[in-house]
């Protein structure tokens, strides 16, 4: 039996059941999505402007600008993950239960990280992929955009 996927399915079912029965959770979800869309449009337009400026300065400027985007994305996701972990991680009832089970440490880490991602970081990752991906494909073209997006995602992971 694979422990991590089982725990992730349980958490997804728990979130789905809570969303079905809790109207406050549905309202919060709508507000989070509206906030993500607003931030996405603003940051996408800003990124398009910056990439156009970098392209006007030449390929070296585009490369250094995209490296700065990578570093900012990596540091931003790291800070968000750290804050969410400190807020919800160690004192969480699910975390305490996981540590009492006879699970190997690598499996425990994967299960904990997956549950943390499902509960906290999924919307930020999708926002980052969506906004950055669309802007890069439109301004840079497919090949260069896919390369930089893969680099960003490998750094976040």
Q: What is the pLDDT of residues 54-68, one digit of tens each?
A: 999 989 998 999 899
Domain count, the chain: 1
CA-based R_g, the chain, Å: 19
Checking 106-115 for CB contacts under 8 A at 24+ apart, the result is 107/3, 107/4, 110/4, 111/3, 111/4, 111/7, 111/8, 114/4, 114/7, 114/8, 115/7, 115/8, 115/11
Choice among 40-44, 77-81, 135-139 with the minimum mean pLDDT: 77-81
pTM: 0.68
| Domain boundaries, position 96 | 3-156
Q: How many CB atoms lie within 10 A of CB 85?
A: 17
């Amino acid at each position: 039996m694979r422990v991590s996927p089982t725990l992730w399915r349980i958490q997804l079912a728990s979130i789905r059941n809570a969303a079905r029965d809790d109207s406050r959770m549905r309202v919060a979800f709508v507000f989070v999505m509206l906030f993500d869309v607003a931030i996405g449009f603003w940051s996408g337009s800003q990124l398009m402007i910056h990439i156009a400026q970098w392209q006007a300065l030449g390929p070296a400027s585009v490369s250094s600008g995209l490296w700065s985007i990578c570093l900012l994305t990596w540091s931003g996701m790291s800070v968000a993950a750290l804050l969410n972990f400190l807020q919800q991680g160690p004192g969480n009832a699910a975390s305490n239960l996981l540590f009492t089970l006879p699970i190997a440490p690598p499996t425990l880490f994967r299960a904990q990280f997956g549950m943390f991602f499902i509960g906290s970081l999924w919307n930020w990752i999708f926002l980052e992929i969506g906004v950055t991906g669309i802007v890069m494909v439109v301004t840079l073209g497919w090949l260069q955009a896919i390369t930089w997006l893969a680099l960003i995602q490998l750094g976040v992971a």
